[in-house]
Amino acid sequence: MYFFRDDMSGLNFPYAHRPLREILATLLEDRGQPEPPAICTGATVLEETLPQMARECTLDIPDKPARPRMWLGNDCGNALRQL
């Protein structure tokens, strides 16, 4: 489960910037494993990674501009999103 360390000194998982292509390749490689390492991309800005998808996934909300974002990963838990 992604969360804070018990002493709240930081997160209990490694954090790294990786290209989306690399993350997708890793997810595909690991899909047959019974317990693959947890991988999660959090709030990835679509304009920067998948511009065509960003153009296609829009909401016209007056006065509330928002940049489309994507969460992608395998079977992992994020305690911060479950509070």
Domain tally, the chain: 1
31 is a domain residue: no
47 is a domain residue: yes
7 is a domain residue: no
72 is a domain residue: yes
Determine the average pLDDT of the residues in 49-65: 83
27 is a domain residue: no
pLDDT category at 67 given cuts 50, 70, 90 is confident
Domain of 67 in residue numbering reads as 40-83
Predicted TM-score (pTM) above 0.75: no
What are the residue ranges of helices labelled H in the chain?
20-30, 46-49, 51-56
67 is a domain residue: yes
Burial class (CB in 10 A: 0-12, 13-18, 19+), 39: middle
pLDDT of 82 reads 47
- The continuous run of DSSP H or E covering 42 comes out as strand 40-45
